[in-house]
Amino acid sequence: MNKILTIIKREFMTKFFTKGFLIGTLLSPFIMLGLIFFPALLGDIDQERTNHFHFVDQSGTLASQMNTLFNDTLSDGSPEFQLTEISPATFASDRQRLETALEEDAMDAILVIPENVLSNGKIDFLATSVGGLSVLGKMEGRFQEAINKIRLQDAGLDPDNVEKLTANVDINTLKVGGGEQSEDAFDQQMIMAVVFLFFLYMSSILYGNSVMRGVLEEKTSRIIEVLLSSSNSFQLMMGKIFGVGSLGLAQYLVWMVVGGLGFFIAGSTAPSLLNNISVEPIVFLYFILFYMIGFFQYSSLYAAAGAMSNTQEDAQGLSTPVTFLIIIPFLLSLTLGMQNPDGTISTILSILPFFAPMVMFVRMALVDPPMIEIVLSLVVNVAAIIFFIWLCAKIYRVGVLMYGKRPTVPEMIKWLRYR
Amino acid sequence: MNALVVENISKTYDDFQAVKSVSFELQEGKLFGLLGPNGAGKTTTMRMIMNIIVPDSGNIYLFGEKFNELHKNQVGYLPEERGLYPKMKLMDHLQFLGEMKGMSPKDAKTIGLRWMDRFGMLDRAKRKVSELSKGLQQKIQFISTIMHEPKLIIMDEPFSGLDPVNAKFLKDILLELKASGTTIILSTHLMDQAEKLCDEICLISNGQIVLQGDIKKVKKDHSLNNVIVEYSGNGDFIKSLPMVKTSDDYGNYIDVQLHDDRSPGELFKELASADLDVRRFEATEASLNQIFIDIVEKK
């Protein structure tokens, strides 16, 4: 036991106090935030401009309404849409000239409302680029509304009455848990689940690879035999796994402290910033629990892959299947797990080893799975951890002293039978 | 008391038998040489003694107890393939290896530094392993083998790659440790080194012991009873003496092999009474090197 602790201490001290790790740990929260907010910021900047549109109304139904339909203003008070009408009579002869002007950026787009717009509901949007989705979406909605009104009137119905009768029904998502109801928090919970899931995924790959590289380094630098003369291969492997795993936990601890400080400062200076953020503290506990379950499963396989390799290339090849065991559950959690956390497949996946850490985490963060499933999942996965560590320790023990060619599968099966 | 008893250990890899039923006993305080050509099974035997590889059959007893993990702290092992963590500082590295042998962090540090001082590398204590030459790295490995005052030291080819100065330094320390009661096993293929250092030897070839025992006895047993004589005058009579088995005469230099039951002293008396000017008389012992080559080639 003392030897495992000595190994953990070495792993931790030599890796934690390196410039790369410290800088990476301190910078990554900011990079994360940047990745989330930067695209949104860019999108906002892009939208803040007036759209110069020319339009021709060959149906004669919408021209009079156009300015009221598109009377939005930008945040500085200037109009979002500047519309110029083209007479339908001259459009055909002017079209060439207008399109040239469009190409020379004299305007942003030409809208052609055809004669039969009421029956086939199609409007042409001529532009040199397809344009921002939000603008197109807005226009589609407005035209839809206006044309529907005209269609209703033509059918002899009162549009206002129809609107009342077909008023939207909204589903207000409320999550009930622990006696209190959190309104409007469901969306945020989805986002937080994705963020945490992403961290689970990243750290499983990152730290799993770190275990593999560590094992390979000990093998290629030939220190392994010195270590084996003081301890046994099981202690070495466990020390490596726990050492690197504790490094991950330390990193999370730093992030939680930094994040907590951030919340504290934001809370005391600008409380409104925090209105949109709510994380139940229990999610952190789930996160740590599933990080550890996943880490033990993946890293024991990575350790075995490292022990079987002689070069970085060997290790890359051998670790690819292990990496897939992380990527596939991650993608399934993002899709199936998020969309249907209580479905049969999600339920089964949340019990299976390698899938459980991410799928069960998502389920626990989004819905409250029955206690029996949680207990079953924990039992199955702890048993899986014991089994994989036993298996990988056997491979590790023989592998670390084998130099030369990469072993074949039958050879590895033989290794399991070595005394 | 026996420091180590190795009882019929064997190891087979797939279809290759690396070690075949090897047994030997080693008294406390002796220096034991494990000799043999490359691929003879020396390293596998040493790894089995350290329980790095588990033998297929046979037993190993250390100081009367069956070898177990706890014994690893009482043994210092220097493998043939040596390695250190390249990015660690020497001081930290020695401390780590000391702690792995059950030393307290404080002891590991002070004793590590003391040895570094003795090896004249205290000024490099804070340097990284990767900044050191191979020779200096070997010194660090050597310190890590002995710093926890093991009762048994096992060294696989300790002299390989060392310059003569450092080889002598290492030899002096080994003899010092032996004088203080430490039992030492070393493997080597440098026969003259083994001949001078070892009390007992065990010669392994193809995974089997082909020769073992006290070095003086081994050499005596394999003595060829040869004498070299350099002389002036008429020495023709020498080759026809009854005690001479074979001879090789060069005129004023003769290489004589005596019958097994006769001694070089008898020849000396014979020569002294003859009218011959003897300039050199040398009873040659077979060197360990010669024995080694003879036995291995005979196999």
Question: Would you say A338 and A186 are in contact if contact means Cβ atoms under 8 Å apart?
Answer: no
Residue A122 touches chain B, beta carbons under 8 Å: no
Interface of B with A in 43-72 (CB under 8 A): 47, 50-56, 69, 72
Please report, for chain A, the start and end positions of each structural domain, with discontinuous segments joined by +. Answer: 2-31+184-417, 50-165
Is pLDDT larger for residue B93 or for residue A93? B93
The domain boundary residue, chosen from B183, B198, B220: B220
The span from the CA of B158 to the CA of A124, in Å, is: 86
Interface of A with B in 220-239 (CB under 8 A): 221-232
- Among B56, B86, B101, beta carbon nearest to A230: B101
Contact B79 A229 (CB under 8 A): yes
Question: Would you say B268 and B281 are in contact if contact means Cβ atoms under 8 Å apart?
Answer: yes
The span from the CA of A114 to the CA of B167, in Å, is: 99
For residue B73, the chain A residues in CB contact (below 8 A) are: 230
Task: Report the first-to-last Cα separation within chain A, whole angstroms.
Answer: 22
- B118 shares a domain with B91: yes
For residue A6, the chain B residues in CB contact (below 8 A) are: 96, 99-100
Rounded to the nearest angstrom, the minimum Cα separation between A9 and chain B is 9
The span from the CA of A275 to the CA of A285, in Å, is: 23
| Helical axes A2-16 vs B90-100, angle rounded to 10° | 160
Judged by DSSP in three states, B104 sits in coil
Q: CATH no. for residue B15?
A: 3.40.50.300
Q: What is the pLDDT of residue A130?
A: 62
- B96 shares a domain with B45: yes
How many A-B residue pairs are in contact by the CB < 8 A criterion?
67
Q: What is the pLDDT of residue B96?
A: 95
Q: What is the dihedral of CA A345, A351, A353, A356, to 10 degrees?
A: 80
Which chain B residue has its CA at the smallest distance from A228's CA?
B52
User: Within a 10 A sphere around the Cβ of A96, how many other Cβ atoms?
Assistant: 9
Is pLDDT larger for residue B67 or for residue A169? B67
Q: What is the pLDDT of residue A180?
A: 46
pLDDT in tens, A2-19: 899 999 999 999 988 888
The domain boundary residue, chosen from B168, B200, B220: B220
Task: Specify the range with the lowest mean pLDDT, choosing from A65-79, A311-325, B124-138, B166-180.
Answer: A65-79
Rounded to the nearest angstrom, the minimum Cα separation between B197 and chain A is 24
User: Within a 10 A sphere around the Cβ of A258, how many other Cβ atoms?
Assistant: 14
- B200 shares a domain with B79: yes
Q: What is the dihedral of CA A126, A129, A135, A138, to 10 degrees?
A: 40
pLDDT in tens, B8-57: 999 988 778 889 999 999 999 999 999 988 888 899 999 999 988 889 89
- Among A3, A10, A229, beta carbon nearest to B52: A229
- The percent helix, strand, coil of chain B (3-state, each to 5) is 40, 30, 30
- B133 shares a domain with B101: yes
Q: CATH no. for residue B255?
A: 3.30.70
H-run or E-run covering A236: helix A233-269
| Helical axes A185-220 vs A356-366, angle rounded to 10° | 160
Question: Would you say A418 and B55 are in contact if contact means Cβ atoms under 8 Å apart?
Answer: no
Mean pLDDT (whole number) for B284-298? 76
Pick from A283, A188, A293: nearest CA to A248: A293
Contact A229 B69 (CB under 8 A): no
Bridge partners, residue A82, by sequence: A52
Q: What is the pLDDT of residue A177?
A: 53
- Among A221, A224, A230, beta carbon nearest to B72: A230
Pick from B72, B51, B40, B69: nearest CA to B6: B51
- B231 shares a domain with B213: no
Rounded to the nearest angstrom, the minimum Cα separation between A383 and chain B is 27
Pick from B197, B157, B162: nearest CA to B40: B157
Q: What is the pLDDT of residue A181?
A: 47
Contact B84 A221 (CB under 8 A): yes
Query: Tokens 């339009």 label which residue?
Result: A55
Q: How many structural domains compose chain B?
A: 2
Pick from B267, B294, B292: nearest CA to B282: B267
Contact B14 A401 (CB under 8 A): no
In single-letter form, the type of residue at position A254 comes to: V
- B236 shares a domain with B120: no
Rounded to the nearest angstrom, the minimum Cα separation between A216 and chain B is 12
Contact B100 A231 (CB under 8 A): yes
CA dihedral sign of residues A43, A49, A55, A57: positive
**β-pairing verdict for B57-62 and B65-66:** antiparallel
Which chain A residue has its CA at the smallest distance from B48's CA?
A229
Domain of B138? 2-220
Mean pLDDT (whole number) for B105-116? 94
Rounded to an integer, what is the distance from CA A185 to the centroid of its chain? 18
In single-letter form, the type of residue at position B235 comes to: G
Q: What is the dihedral of CA B124, B128, B129, B132, to 10 degrees?
A: -50
Class of domain A50-165: alpha beta
Q: Which two tokens stand for residue A77?
A: 């008070």
Query: Tokens 């001078």 label which residue?
Result: B196
Q: What is the pLDDT of residue A175?
A: 58
Query: Tokens 């083209």 label which residue?
Result: A86
Interface of B with A in 132-171 (CB under 8 A): 141, 144
Q: What is the mean pLDDT of each run of 10 residues along chain A (419 residues)?
A: 89 89 83 67 62 85 82 79 85 84 84 85 80 74 86 84 79 56 60 83 91 92 90 91 92 82 71 58 82 92 91 90 92 84 88 92 85 92 92 86 77 74
Q: What is the pLDDT of residue A179?
A: 44
Q: Which two tokens stand for residue B265?
A: 């002293």
Contact A229 B96 (CB under 8 A): no
Contact A229 B81 (CB under 8 A): no
The span from the CA of A91 to the CA of A158, in Å, is: 34
Which of A229, A235, A412, A417 to probe by mutation at the B interface, max B CB count within 10 Å?
A229
Q: Which two tokens stand for residue A345?
A: 């497949």
**DSSP, residue by residue, B133-169:** -HHHHHHHHHHHHHTT--SEEEEESTTTT--HHHHHH
The span from the CA of B212 to the CA of B209, in Å, is: 7
- B238 shares a domain with B133: no
Q: What is the pLDDT of residue A149?
A: 85
- B252 shares a domain with B168: no
For residue A228, the chain B residues in CB contact (below 8 A) are: 50, 52
The span from the CA of B142 to the CA of B136, in Å, is: 10
The span from the CA of A401 to the CA of A404, in Å, is: 10
The domain boundary residue, chosen from B156, B190, B220: B220
Judged by DSSP in three states, A343 sits in coil
Q: Is the ipTM of this complex over 0.90?
A: no
In what side-by-side order are the strands of the sheet with B16-27? B16-27, B2-13, B57-62, B65-66
